[in-house]
Amino acid sequence: MPPPPMPSRPSPLPPRRNGLWAALRGIGRVINVARLLIVNAVFFTLLFVVVLAIVGGIAVNRAKAVVQDGSVLVLQPEGQLVEQYSVDPLQRALARLSGDKTQQVRLRDLVGAINAAAKDKRISRILLLPGELHAGGFAALREVGAALDRFRATGKPVIAWAASLDQGQYYLAAHADRVLLDPQGSLMLTGLANYRLFYKDLLDKLGVDVHLFRVGQFKSAAEPYILDHASSASKEADSYWMGGLWDEYLAEVAKLRKLDPATLRADVDDLPQDIASTQGDLARLALNEHLIDGMATRAELIADLRRQGVPAANNGHGLRSVGLARYVADVRSSRGQLTGAGVTVVVAEGDIAGGKQPAGSIGGESTAALIRAAREDRRTKALVLRVDSPGGEVYAAEQIRREVELTREAGIPVVVSMGDVAASGGYWISMNANRIFAEPNTITGSIGIFGMYYSVPNTLAKFGIRSDGVATGPMAGAFDITRPLDPKVGAVIQAIIDKGYRDFVGGVAKARGKSFDAIDAIAQGRVWTGKQALDRGLVDRLGGLGDAVAEAARLAKLGRNYPVRYAQAPMGALESFLVGFSQNASVELLRSWGLRLPPWFAQVQALAPELSLLRDAKAGTPNVYAYCLCSPH
């Protein structure tokens, strides 16, 4: 019989178009197309913005002057008053295009605009709207106030108006010829306070052991981690320097408003009783106590200024005016590039940390590099270090101090200008200057040092975890955070902190020409106001940044006319463009055409969250700080 036929193989089926692989490939194609569309959209949007910016810039240059005769300079600072931006140029440019607030106004821009307006015949007066300003301290506000006083001395008036004012905003508004408040507004002066949160009980519940090593009876920055309340020494010291700040505040406001300081103090303290006399109307109470000159709505304010001769805007409404950003751009373009030898200003603002840090904070390497670059620049004949810092890491502060010392040794005089706070590490980087200037309400001193180390054996025990093993010697594994801290190791850390304190006090004593004991008596981590520090020989003179710059020029024998430059880290081409773009009047032109980016495009986190000594502590090593938590509110 013939063999049975072999079964034929079934012909292969065509691939299933609805299979998993086909589906994935389809999804991939969709994603790829979407990606290309998004990339192209972003690219062409940015290209469009850049082209419009260039065209806008040309249009602005060809147009008539930005600032017209009879203009009112409207100062409406919004957000934090800072020495330097911590918000990067891209964020600032995008924020302005989208109509959002950048949340920061630079002190030198505000003061510079007021100084320029005082000499500018096109500016008839200043309208100050301080209701959205958030100042971290009073020293910077005092700088702005002094500029307003110089403006008024030329015979031009300053009018301040707000819907409501806190005591920092009012401190600035009090420098105006007239202070007006909205009839539904409020003004509350409450005094100063410095309350902290204490974490000891929480850390105990978590089983975290915080070991504090310090020198100085009043060095209280780390107390919240080892106590559940403020120590008596801390309260004593805080009461002294805050009392000094409040005395300065009351004295200056009383002088500006032609009031008796004692009466003003009583009015502040008696607010709960006095508010009944106006049935809860804070604006009326402020008028009765002569803190303001009148009440007016915004429309009434504009109408009043029109009656005083201020021209209307081009559209026939409102006021002929120019805002801060546009005026700063106009002044900057008219001045041109700075040339010749002069004074270089290096800004040191924020916490002091190791390495390279962005603007708005101080880096041991980055800030030292700025000073070094300024010293090596032949145009620098004098250096001003503008300090606004509560301190931070000791070694980083020492890196900066060394550059200050080397600058002096190179024959370049160094003058420190203290801002709101120049305490602890902020004083460390200042102590070797030829001269130290502070405002009467600067917070300074706090010459002390402390170390923190934490371990978590009890935390692990709560989860049934134990650490055990062997080591080659008593110091091996000593800084293992899973094990309790050996008292002998604690003695080693304390010896290191003692040495750091001796270095700090000894360095100040040498720089100030005093004995170790004399400085030790006013150190101990104790905080002083600028005026109190002057009385104790920790600063040389009271004054602002302008005074410090003038003194630096005098020491360098620069004469009367000299350029003042601000040292900044080098920027790339794109970043340089964005800086100019964000400050250029062409941005205003684009916005006037209705060309704005959507608001969500600029919603980027601008400020880092508040630092915590415990959170930022490095595991497995003692963390040594010269730091002061000394900002009242």
Number of C-beta neighbours around residue 143 at 10 A = 23
Q: Are strands 342-349 and 564-566 parallel, antiparallel or unpaired?
A: parallel
DSSP string, 327-367: HHHHHHHHH----SSEEEEEEEES-EESS---TTSEEHHHH
Distances (CA, A) of 108 to 105, 531, 546: 9, 23, 10
166: closest CA among 149, 140, 185? 185
Residue 424 and residue 626 in contact, taking contact as beta carbons nearer than 8 Å: yes
Q: Is 111's pLDDT higher than 90?
A: yes
Instruction: Judge contact between 562 and 553, C-beta under 8 A.
Output: yes
How large is the average pLDDT for residues 177-187? 97
Residues with Cβ < 8 Å from 550, sequence gap 6 or more?
none
In the chain, the amino acid numbered 118 is A
What's the pLDDT tens digit per position in 498-512?
A: 999 999 999 999 999
pLDDT of residue 30: 62
pLDDT for the residue numbered 430: 98
214 band by pLDDT with thresholds 50, 70 and 90: confident
Question: Which amino acid makes up residue 626?
Answer: A
What is the phi/psi pair of residue 167, to 5°?
-75, -25
User: Each residue of 62-83: pLDDT tens digit?
Assistant: 434 578 999 999 999 998 899 9
Q: Taking the CA of residue 630 as centre, how many other CA atoms within 13 Å lie in the half-sphere pointing to its CB?
A: 40
Q: Is 20 a residue whose pLDDT tops 70?
A: no
Average pLDDT of span 96-122? 83
Confidence (pLDDT) at 261: 97
pLDDT at site 55:
47
* Top mean-pLDDT range of 2-16, 85-99, 615-629: 615-629
Which residues on adjacent β-strands are paired with residue 169? Answer: none
pLDDT, the chain, mean: 84
Catalytic positions are: 219, 424
- Give the CA dihedral 155, 144, 441, 541, nearest 10 degrees: -70
| Of the ranges 29-38, 118-127, 215-224, the best mean pLDDT one | 118-127
Q: Measure the CA angle with vertex 173, ends 330 and 252; round to 5°.
A: 120
Q: Hey, how many other C-beta atoms are within 10 angstroms of the C-beta on 108? A: 18
> Which range (33-37, 68-72, 248-252, 309-313) has the least confidence?
33-37
Task: Say yes or no to pLDDT of 584 above 50.
Answer: no
- Residue 430 to residue 407: CA distance in whole angstroms: 13
Structure tokens at 209: 């052991």
Q: Is the pLDDT of residue 242 over 90?
A: yes
CA distances from 633 to 135, 192, 245, 427 (A): 10, 6, 11, 22
pLDDT at 14 over 50: no
Please compute the mean of the pLDDT values over residues 212-223 and round it to a whole number.
Answer: 82
Q: What is the mean pLDDT of residues 322-332?
A: 91
Residue 311 predicted with pLDDT over 70: yes
> 96-110, 218-232, 368-382, 555-569: which has the highest mean pLDDT?
368-382
pLDDT of residue 12: 46
Question: Which spans in 67-199 are helix H?
Answer: 89-98, 107-119, 138-153, 167-173
Provide the pLDDT for residue 86.
Answer: 76
Mind listing the pLDDT tens digit for each residue in 140-150? 999 999 999 99
User: Does the pLDDT value for residue 403 go beyond 70?
Assistant: yes
Q: How open is the CA angle 312-318-323, to the nearest 5 degrees?
A: 95
Non-local CB neighbours of 555 within 8 Å, separated by 6+ positions: 382, 413, 415, 434, 435
CATH class in words for 30-189+291-336+573-602: alpha beta
- What is the pLDDT averaged over residues 142-162? 97
Order of strands, sheet of 133-134, starting from the edge strand that comes earlier in the sequence: 104-106, 79-82, 133-134
Closest by CA to 129, choosing from 167, 169, 101, 156, is: 169
Q: According to the model, what pLDDT value does residue 23 have?
A: 55
Q: What is the pLDDT of residue 405?
A: 97
For residues 43 and 206, which has the higher predicted lDDT (pLDDT)?
A: 206
* Overall average pLDDT of the 538-555 stretch: 97
